[in-house]
Amino acid sequence: MPTESLSIDGGLLPSWNDSTTKSAILDLVAAVTLEGGPDFVPPAQRIAVFDNDGTLWCEQPAQVQVLFARQRAAEMAAADPSLRDRQPFKAFLEHDVAAIHALGKQGVFEFAMAIHAGMTTEAFEATVRDWFVRARHPTFDRPMAGIVFQPQIELLDFLRAHGFKTFIVSGGGVDFMRPFAEAAYGIPPEQVIGSSVKYRFDAADDGPCQIVKLAELGSFDDRDAKPANIALHIGRRPILCFGNSDGDLAMLRYTISGTGRRLGLLLHHDDTTREVAYDREFRLSPLVEALDRSDAFGIRVVSMKRDWGTVFPRP
């Protein structure tokens, strides 16, 4: 879709306030889609990557996959009460934030994925879908589908309307994200990159061939692993990247260090009224280095408070 300019007065990205951030997004898209222009990028090379937790939807008071894992841990403890005294089950069941934090981000996600070991990928997908139908967010009392960020949904749609291919590149479990990513974000399963456990292929002579989830972590898609997995699974350097934490810094730098017009965006959660304000304070996914060095690296900080007119979709 070639274009010469995209005006902030044209009704584009309606949940984004008119600001230098919105202008930077529109300017990038206008430049890379102008056929014959100096910054034109063919559609096949218009790759945009987004972190998920804290970038596309709310990650407080815990990542959504952690909330999902708590339910599974409770179900397992109901069947085997001895688990209530074993770590890390005890920490998850008692919502012991300090003990969970002590596991580290990788340890938390490793546990969250490992407790579903032994399930086939199809059975796990069905479990995830069923949970999303019933679960509500503990802070905002919304269905989990209602804690996605409305400005990001508009941005994803806007980019795809201008020939971009959009990907999720997240530390969250890839098997957990795929069942909802297409309905929530318009991103199909094959364009979701995330952490994974190892799998086993089962092929019984008299039954179906199946993939079974194991308890062993295969890949933890965080920090330096993110650009490495982009190269492995996409094979093209993105021209737009959107993250929200130090875990996204490597893929932000990887994106904007290429040639031609590029844009790296870092979401700063600074809105105490409509969401949650946090950065350097205690949390599993800190925003310290990325925020401190954003100017030096050429990363644009997006203020939730100033740049977004709306945070969540209407109920």
Which three-class secondary structure string do you get for 168-206? EEEEEEHHHHHHHHHHHHCCCHHHEEEEEEEEEEEECCC
How sure is the predictor about 156, in pLDDT bands with cuts at 50, 70 and 90?
very high
Residue 244 pLDDT? 97
In a domain, 243, yes or no: yes
- Cα dist from 33 to 39, 42, 163, 170, whole Å: 8, 8, 8, 27
In a domain, 153, yes or no: yes
How sure is the predictor about 10, in pLDDT bands with cuts at 50, 70 and 90?
low
pLDDT tens-digit map of 116-145? 999 999 999 999 999 999 999 999 999 999
Q: Full-prediction pTM beyond 0.85?
A: yes
Lowest mean pLDDT among 100-109, 123-132, 265-274: 100-109
CATH of the domain at 186: 3.40.50.1000
Residue 283 pLDDT? 60
Residue 206 pLDDT? 84
State the residue range of the domain holding 161. 20-61+143-194+220-307
In a domain, 66, yes or no: no
Averaged pLDDT for residues 304-314: 97
Residue 7 pLDDT? 55
Residue 3 pLDDT? 46
Residue 284 pLDDT? 62
Averaged pLDDT for residues 149-164: 98
Residue 1 pLDDT? 43
In a domain, 268, yes or no: yes
Residue 54 pLDDT? 97
Number of domains within the chain: 1
In a domain, 179, yes or no: yes
- Cα dist from 301 to 112, 145, 294, 296, 309, whole Å: 30, 26, 7, 12, 16
Give percent above pLDDT 70 in the chain.
95
pLDDT tens-digit map of 42-69? 999 999 999 999 999 999 999 999 999 9
